[in-house]
Structure 1
Amino acid sequence: MAVWTFDGTFNGFLCLIHESSRRKERPEGILGGGKNQPFLFETVPTETDERLAASVRTALAARLSRRVLTEGYYAFLSAMPGREMAVYRYFALAWTAGPGAAGLLADERVRTVHEAGRAVSRERHRFLGLLRFSELGGVLYAPFEPEGDILPLVAGHFARRLGGERWIIHDTGRSKAAVYENGTWRIAGFSTGGPLPLSGREREIRDLWKRYFSSTAVQTRKNPGLQRQFMPKKYWKHLPEKEDADGIR
């Protein structure tokens, strides 16, 4: 059994697809960077070439359709176990069946990727409304802890919305961040090493926000269970308005 390995990035995955096609070999397993490799099996390492990845992306979009490519990309960013192999199988099917493969939901290969992609899309949409930026000496900082690896999707949105600011969006669970400055953003490894110092203005804003949140809540209508139903508790961790709230933590 041959297990193919790559650096864990989508560009690296595209290069793996190209190498698989070039060698006319289909991997029986795929492992991204940072995952334990099964030493009992033969491994086929692949290198990442950014130019090659761009060419593969263009070719896949033309042959499979942008919809298929996007669905595969979103599923790749999900937390689904075995997502790399699932996306590989989906692309392989679409390469033969054409753009219409996206509608073959009765096929397990399509349905698996479709559902994983939808989960990522929902999580992205939810965090676009829940992300909270704090002012840290001229830089806006927003921590979050998503299930899927949605940092590039969220960063692209805020690059358009907050183009005049310097900001950092920190995926605390994966120890990496999107850093935006001078009109461009990039993703790199990132760790705060502990609580970050808030500016005086930020502390005042947080205090006002908490008081507003508390004052608008009708005590007799508090229903933590219903709150958790509409916004699961896993999303509360980095919300200033939830800090020290009665019945919340």
Structure 2
Amino acid sequence: MFNRPALVYRCDGTLDGLLCCVFESYVRKEEPMDILEEEGTLFPCREIETDPQKAARVARSLLKISQRVFDLVQEGMLSAMPGRGMVVYRFIRLAYQVGDKAALLLTNDTVATLHRWTSQLRHEAHLYTGFVRFTDWQGALVAKIEPKGQVLPLIAGHFAGRYPGERFLIFDAVHRMALVHQPGRTAILPVEDLELPPTTPEEAQCRRLWRAYHQAISIQERENPRAQRGHLALRYRGQMTEFQSDDPSGAPPKALP
């Protein structure tokens, strides 16, 4: 039996941090009221230090249940949804009780919530495989994105496979992470900020040509802004070349598809 003290756990918000919360919960035989990443609670708080060895033990136990269960746990933490720590924790406890079928219990509120979050994450990752726009910087391709979820682990394989011989970097400005690739090696690293030097004349010309192409194929009489927003939400457009302008005032191009 687990005790249910009036106590919350606080971890660093990573997958390993959450798995360490699970480890401590089972060692202490207690179920926290909540799992937080930031300060700001009226209840007593237990700080859970991230220990890769403890996290690896819990990860192995989940993989013994099934890869599907582990993937839901991993993507649940990548979703960056508020309260995800406690939802994933409850799902792990359920998986320990009923095994692989925990992933299929969609009438369970915890499982349904986790599936909804991971579906949104995978959809956003799919969109970014088409929405990323690279800039040539000293022979390397660089892009900046602002996703809601932590999509870099999900899109890494796509871009590494598409550009295996290139050096490229995709910077997630929201979660302060960067996908870095060079031939034969890909990694995701923490990056606090990324500043690039001014655009070269060659790169500026390439951008102008790309925008001109998009304007040229646009049929003004058939433009449908409402339908466009349905397929390409406004929040994606800030880092897309075809929605930027040469105008120093920042005014968008007059005609875009």
- Name the TM-score, length of structure 2 as normaliser: 0.87
CA RMSD for the aligned pairs? 1.8
CA distance in 2, matches of 1:57, 1:76: 13
- The 5-angstrom pairing of residues 199-214 of structure 1 reads 199-214=200-215
Question: Structure 2 counterpart of 1:43, which letter?
Answer: C
Q: Which residue of 2 aligns with 1:246?
A: 254
CA distance in 2, matches of 1:160, 1:17: 35
How far did 1:135 drift?
A: 0.7
Question: Structure 2 counterpart of 1:189, which letter?
Answer: V
How far did 1:247 drift?
A: 6.2
- The 5-angstrom pairing of residues 1-249 of structure 1 reads 1-32=6-37, 35-38=38-41, 40-63=42-65, 65-181=66-182, 183-193=185-195, 196-243=197-244, 244-246=252-254
Q: Identity over aligned residues, as a percent?
A: 37
Question: Structure 1 counterpart of 2:143, which letter?
Answer: A
How far did 1:181 drift?
A: 3.8
User: Structure 1: which 4+ aligned runs deviate by more than 4 Å?
Assistant: none
How far did 1:21 drift?
A: 1.2
Secondary structure of 1:168's partner? strand
How far did 1:62 drift?
A: 0.7
Deviations 1:44-93 (A, max 9, x none): 11121223322321211112x11122122212211322111011111111
How far did 1:22 drift?
A: 1.4
- Name the TM-score, length of structure 1 as normaliser: 0.90
CA distance in 2, matches of 1:185, 1:118: 24
1:143 touches 1:169 (CA, 8 Å); kept in 2?
A: yes
How far did 1:162 drift?
A: 2.6
User: Any unmatched runs of 5+ in structure 1?
Assistant: none
CA distance in 2, matches of 1:2, 1:163: 48
Secondary structure of 2:170's partner? strand
Deviations 1:15-63 (A, max 9, x none): 221121111111111012xx2231x221111121223322321211112
| Alpha-carbon spacing, 1:136–1:190, altered in 2? closer, same or farther (3 Å) | farther
User: Any unmatched runs of 5+ in structure 2?
Assistant: 1-5, 245-251
Question: Structure 2 counterpart of 1:8, which letter?
Answer: G
1:177 touches 1:190 (CA, 8 Å); kept in 2?
A: no
Question: Structure 1 counterpart of 2:126, which letter?
Answer: H
Secondary structure of 2:150's partner? coil
How far did 1:98 drift?
A: 1.0
Question: Structure 1 counterpart of 2:138, which letter?
Answer: G
Secondary structure of 2:180's partner? strand
Secondary structure of 1:165's partner? coil
Secondary structure of 2:239's partner? coil
How far did 1:220 drift?
A: 0.9
